[in-house]
Chains A and B, each alone.
Chain A
């Protein structure tokens, strides 16, 4: 408010009124109420210190003590109730000023020897389509009165809203600093899919001649910088001040979470940066119901009919299963991590030779697809192993056993299924064998071949150190482990 502009608008705001009729013609009262800008705009966390000047003539102490001041607020020609004021008003000493209420000049800090003060106007909430009109009335009852011209004040908010289900306006949630926006799921009779929070950012109260620049950024420190996303990819998205940013349209079809922030920069018509702010919040996640996940996996697992049981075992957290996200523990509702680097329902792991992607961590459907892909790899490895054994031991080769039933179990697997299941976790038998090019490669399976064994008994099933096949069959397929 110490700007030279301060004085620029003074003359237009000063209104002198004639003495009230029947009063002493020698007593006059004048007032001015001025901001540093002709059309002040207040942003969240900002304030203004307009100057209030009252001049009594002649400067008589007895008359001065009777001077009363009132601030009047209207919006769209309607008075604004004190509880709905978009700004709060205070004296230089910090005393609250209630609009539409007469106060003695001394209450405001105006003394006979000091007739100019700076009020404090602090942003509280956005103004509606019409700006706030604020003016000051002054009077010495029965003697003189004055009023200033109204000043138009716009108050701008910085709002981030999760609009939730478009069909349910009542579920909109304002996202404040430190709040959580939820990655949920959508279900109907035919499909189920994860739903990112439908975020909308807006600056209500700002006019279209302003420009606003937007940016959303999210990081998930548990995975280093792997899940760092930014919208737009670089720079800022610039929109007119009166236009909302439908953030969710920017990340349509992408899934991520962690520590997010939406940043805004407001440029006044001349291009000068007048305000910038950031809303920091978290994006956390809810698991879909188990029945939905099972149905989804079973509808896509094809020949890997046991894939759902692998997923149930991999993602198990005590009695809770199909946890793409933690159902409890130290970091609930964050992605389900299993040491050393397993993520989500199928515990997709970077040991496959490719980094676990952001989509695999935050979208359970992508995670399930990665699990199916790994089963395809395990199937290919298994078949290549049997072929390599046949190539390396052509004289003593015999087909592997048709079936395998883990000890104490009722479920029977084919020898290939047992191998695929074990390879998903880690094959117990890894051998360096001659490949079709004549050089050596590694081959893996759960079946050990002894070329010098008696015919019909050359294959031996070897369980891996984690008893993986047994656990998947007994605990999950046959339901020995409880599920909540």
Chain B
């Protein structure tokens, strides 16, 4: 009889431990990251309206290792002749790990001459950043860049 209860207690302990691990896994890890990824996908979906996005034409340059996420130089260029009937209409930058995935959108015209944009952005976390370009014929092209951020933006207190 005594043995029985002991066995049950041990069993219960094992179960509790299992739950504990599970709870820990939920808190610490990827769930929040997945949610952000979904946000980014949704943002991309909103831009393209479900259209096919092909890899290529776009070049996105960010430093692979960033010390401070508050000011990261981001360079995006799209390979296009920029003539009246073949030019880049818009470029969107989407960051998977930011609280708001959209970073910026630029609207270009044939009078832009080239599709080269440089700006400074905030990155909340080590993550993949996407650049999506829409051409004048309606097609979408994308490129991505991965970066490692040591000191994150947005989280510090004032």
- A and B found bound together: no
Q: Chain B interface (Cβ within 8 Å of chain A)? A: none
